[in-house]
Amino acid sequence: MGGRWGAAAAALAVTALLLAAARQAVFTLVPAVEAGPAEVPVTSHGQALLGYEEHVLVAPVGGTLERQVAEGARVARGTPVARIAAGGGAGPEELQALTLRLSELREAILPGADQEAAAGAEAVASELARLRQGLEAGRGDAAPLWRAYRAWNDARERRERLQQEAARLEARLEELRRLRDAGTALLRAPVSGPVTFAADGLEDLLDGERFLETAPALLLGGDSVPIGLPAAAVGPPQGAASPVQDGAGEAAARPVAAGQVVARILDSWTAHVALPVPAEAVRRGWVAAGERIQWEVDGRPVAADVISIIPAAGDRAVAVGRVAVGLPVLMPRRTVPFTYTWGALSGQAVPPSALVESAGGAWVAVVEARGVRWARVMPVARDDRAVLVEGIEPGTRVLRVGRLGFWLTWDRPG
């Protein structure tokens, strides 16, 4: 009996040795690689949005715009910047339409509004007297009085709006007649600074303190690509001035409509810039207020001091800064290209095939002398050739094909 048990034990021992040898042979034959340290820079490429302290010149009348200075010229306060030869919007058609509307207001609409307001006042007085009589008889109802008061108040507000419209029309007609008689309107610089004739419709949105409120909304569309910007806002100003000859501005003559922005006077000392920040840079705290961001535009250095980090959609943010270096290079553009490296991701590089997605996470099969074990990792960057992961040490051997680990160990990820 003892001999039989001894033989069985010997057979089991031999089997275990054979299995161990086979397992070791499998480990030797299965391709494994060593994880190596690597870094991946997090870089943004795209367009940054610019805002200036600026003053706009608006055409008081339609006509032909003639530039009096060149694009980008620095002017002193009071310098003639543009001249508008009255015409087009200041012609007989506009004068006739304004005159007709003003006549209609004075002769029919305003008198009717006056009568409606007077009738409303009488209705309030009548309902007030009726309410007093009812209260004396012990059955007063205030609802009719409140209805009459609201109707009277609405009539008064309508009359006031019509009166304001009439006043605006009178002022406009007077201005048009004066310009028609004078023949031209001369627009002068209200402040000193460089002049640009590029108008993009964003002057009020991105001026001064409003830049912090509106710039992030314009940059929410994609990583580093502003959306919703008029075509004139992108790149160098459209129709940048050809040099004016002897200040006559003949080469830059073009039609403009009344109320159109025709020029902007920029503060040459102050500008703000907004750049979209990748989610990874936000999560890792690579950018903060007080830091300086530097890049190149047209081969010349530009820098901005970050004053605020404003959260945006998708865990991203917008960095708003004050331009500290290179303002002459940027003006008067609304957007400018930038390339900036926020930081570098570091970890261990493994083949993409080594990664196994299981149990709500990412895993690699680590090859050790005693067998295979699963190690949970955090992918931080990837491309077609490698995945950068955190969670393992340099030199760790992992299966090149991670799913083979399911055949080499009974353990499972997680």
Q: Are strands 32-34 and 254-256 parallel, antiparallel or unpaired?
A: unpaired
- What pLDDT, on a 0 to 100 scale, did the predictor assign at position 230? 34
Spatial separation of the C-alpha atoms in residues 75 and 127, rounded to whole Å: 65
- What pLDDT, on a 0 to 100 scale, did the predictor assign at position 238? 35
Average pLDDT, the chain: 79
Asked if residue 362 has pLDDT above 80, the reply is yes
What mean pLDDT comes out for the span 152-178?
86
What mean pLDDT comes out for the span 145-162?
89
CB distance 293 to 217 below 8 Å: no
CB distance 52 to 269 below 8 Å: no
Q: How confident is the model at residue 364 (pLDDT cuts 50, 70, 90)?
A: very high
The 10s digit of each residue's pLDDT in 267-303 is 778 889 999 888 888 888 888 888 999 999 989 999 9
Distances (CA, A) of 155 to 109, 114, 118, 161, 322: 12, 8, 9, 10, 50
What mean pLDDT comes out for the span 315-329?
87
**Tokens 């002017």 label which residue?**
75
Enumerate helices (H) and strands (E) in the chain, giving the number of each: 8, 18
| Range in 155-169, 193-207, 387-401 the model is least confident about | 193-207
Spatial separation of the C-alpha atoms in residues 315 and 299, rounded to whole Å: 32
User: In one letter, which amino acid is 412?
Assistant: R
Taking only Cα atoms into account, the Rg of the chain, rounded to an integer number of angstroms, comes to 38
pTM of the model: 0.57
Spatial separation of the C-alpha atoms in residues 238 and 308, rounded to whole Å: 31
Asked if residue 83 has pLDDT above 90, the reply is no
The 10s digit of each residue's pLDDT in 330-355 is 888 888 899 999 999 889 999 999 99
- What pLDDT, on a 0 to 100 scale, did the predictor assign at position 224? 33
Asked if residue 19 has pLDDT above 60, the reply is no
Enter the DSSP assignment of 108. Answer: I
